[in-house]
Amino acid sequence: MCALVACSQEPAPAIAPTLDTVLAGGLVFTGDDSEPVLADVGIVGDRIVAIGDLRERAALQRIDLGGLAVAPGFIDIHSHAVRGNANDGIFRWPDAENLIRQGVTTAIGGPDGSSPLPITATFDALREQPASVNFGTFVGHGSVRALVVGEDDRVPTTQELEAMRQQVAAAMQEGAFGLSSGLIYAPGRFAATEEVVELAKVAADYGGIYISHMREEGLDVLKSVAETIRIGEEGGLPTQITHHKIVGAPMWGKSTETLRLVDEAVERGVDVSIDQYPYTASSTSLTILFPGWSLDGGRDALLQRIRDPAQHEELRKEIVYRIEVDRGGNDPANVVLANCSFDRSLNGLNLSQILQSREIAVAKDAAAELLMELVVAGNCSAVFHAIDEADVRNIMRHPRTMIASDGGVEDPSERVPHPRNYGSFARVLGHYVREQGVLPLHTAVHKMTRLPADRLGLDDRGRISVDAIADIVVFDPATVIDHSTFAEPHQYAEGMHYVFVAGTAVLERGSMTGARPGRLLRSGDYRNR
């Protein structure tokens, strides 16, 4: 029976649900380029559900952080976590410890015009073997062109262009976040700007972005920046200069002009952005030093040209030129072999050291001959020291620049890879923020979190806010640092205490937990809600 007094009473206040985890007393960086605040962060399941003073809230676990930094998990918008070899990268090392120890919780693959086709094959493989980090991808223009046109330097037919459009549309429907290009690499380099614009329009129809390894990063870098802007402008979609750098001493200092081109484009309404890794060396295949004409038709055609005396001589001259003014840094010692699958003993040696070991005088002509020999033997990846520190800092400070690695998933192995694989994000936080004062800490965090998240439309990641996915890192601003070097790259970054992916601890008190809660990120899941 309802008593009159009881019926007139206000309902009892609801009891707040118990939190799974409270990160207590941390210096919270929300990701939006603002100063941090001292607060607690409450997690239930895979979501952040409360921020503020949570001392009175019940929790299954409460972690006292004592003022450590709390930030959104870092998003690597240019990642080679998935390589061409299905037994490499994230499939070989699904714990991705080199990423986790930098604070990376999301890797976006398919860069430089190269991606799996169909991309669902990679999604299916990662579903069967989950990783510690989230994964999304772009669709690669070069991969699409290779599938439809092949490795030849020619204009696609009308039917082939339509087939490429269909491939891009299919990939976007499968979940790609946009179109990537590698216009410095074959077969992407054989495409006219107009071809890329047409495919960019398809990505635009699905709300995607265009992200480009530009046609040139050395002598013609200004023309390449203009082309990247043009593709975004005519394609009707956001456009991004990926791993922006200025290569070769003749062009050092030109970042002031490339950034001016970006600013002018933004002023007239073009949505242009940049990403960057924080090093003065690049890394890619040795064929980056070969002229485009030599790559027409693929590897077999290249080998025939190398064996032909007349073409061999022309190749030698052009390779020497590129050693002098481009990625060779005007010294064969600046080209260091990272991975020669046909002869692991060469890994870590530069061209000068190899010539000296053969008792050959060190000269650019001899280095060019050696490069052709190595490519014939099976080709190698290499590290190229040809970037100036002043340009790195200038690009880093630009408000539209976000941090990326251009690295992948690595673990101690026979390779001697670029240290960016192990250190990019920690290097920015430790070296460039704490030691050099190039950026404020909150700005650096913004460039690793909210900026790339917003670029991709990931509205529930890259931020510490209620209802956001609990991808969270906890680090010590006083100790975070990279340890990986060019000579000894297989060294993990230091300073991360906790890393949570979707609310699950992957790194706990500085130790890997073995958890693999990484999720597959598809553009449509964000586009359609």
- For the purposes of burial, counting CB atoms within 10 Å of the CB of 84, is it exposed (0-12), middle (13-18) or buried (19 or more)? exposed
**135-181: pLDDT as tens digits:** 999 999 999 999 999 999 999 999 999 999 999 999 999 999 999 99
Does residue 76 sit in helix, strand or coil? strand
Residue labelled with tokens 């614009």 = 197
* pLDDT recorded at residue 4: 35
| Sequence-distant (≥ 6) Cβ neighbours of residue 5 within 8 angstroms | none
> Domains of the chain: which residue ranges?
72-280+387-527, 285-385
Which residue type is seen at 110?
A: G
* pLDDT recorded at residue 11: 53
- Torsions phi, psi of 337, nearest 5? -70, 130
Closest CA to 467 of 39, 51, 58, 36: 51
| Sequence-distant (≥ 6) Cβ neighbours of residue 244 within 8 angstroms | 255, 258, 274, 275, 276, 395, 401
Q: How many helices (H) and strands (E) does the chain have?
A: 17, 21
* pLDDT recorded at residue 84: 72
- Domain 72-280+387-527 CATH assignment equals 3.20.20.140: yes
User: Dmax of the chain from CA atoms?
Assistant: 106
Reported as half-sphere exposure (CB side, CA atoms, 13 A), residue 146 has a value of 23
CA separation for the pair 187, 160 (Å, rounded): 14
* pLDDT recorded at residue 10: 54
- Torsions phi, psi of 508, nearest 5? -135, 120
* pLDDT recorded at residue 30: 98
* pLDDT recorded at residue 13: 52
Per-residue DSSP letter, 430 = I
Q: What is the mean pLDDT of each run of 10 residues along the chain (529 residues)?
A: 43 73 98 97 98 97 97 98 86 97 98 96 95 98 98 97 98 98 97 98 98 98 98 98 98 98 98 98 97 96 97 97 96 98 96 98 97 98 98 98 98 95 98 98 98 98 98 98 98 98 98 98 89
| Sequence-distant (≥ 6) Cβ neighbours of residue 83 within 8 angstroms | 89, 408
